[in-house]
Amino acid sequence: VQLQASGGGLVQAGDSLRLSCAGSGRTASSGFWAWFRQAPGKEREFVAAVRWSSRHTYYADSVKGRFTISRDNAKSTVYLQMNSLKPEDTAIYYCTVGSRIILSTYQIDRMYDYWGQGTQVTVSS
């Protein structure tokens, strides 16, 4: 399984970006796909997840109402639409997929199986 993340960049506060995560190999039509992020000097944190089979979505409180995660079955791709970006959203964003994820574990990074290389998002004030 390989995950390729893209779409990061340098934007101003209030702008929008859309991240993409394209999967190849046995990316599975089950389990959870998610985005995590890691800011300099901080631990990696959960951002959003989507359950592949049901399309149910889950968000960190810090991004709820601003970010939207979605998936495209045909393309084996997950998107993260980020609106109203803030300087505190600056981080490297990682996509990941896990087949063992359940509702009590989708926010735990070590439960995921495969990770993309990360894409930098920088939001200037």
Alpha-carbon gap, residue 39 to 74, rounded angstroms: 32
pLDDT higher for 19 or 52?
19
pLDDT higher for 84 or 28?
84
pLDDT at residue 40, rounded to an integer: 93
pLDDT higher for 99 or 28?
99
pLDDT at residue 19, rounded to an integer: 98
Average pLDDT of the chain is 93
Q: Is the dihedral of CA 63, 47, 54, 16 positive or negative?
A: positive
| Per-residue pLDDT at 30 exceeds 80 | no
Q: Percent of the chain scored above 90 by pLDDT? A: 79
| Per-residue pLDDT at 110 exceeds 60 | yes
Q: What is the DSSP string of 39-96?
A: -TTS--EEEEEEETTT--EEE-TTTTTTEEEEEETTTTEEEEEE-S--GGG-EEEEEE
Contact 53, 29 (CB under 8 A): yes
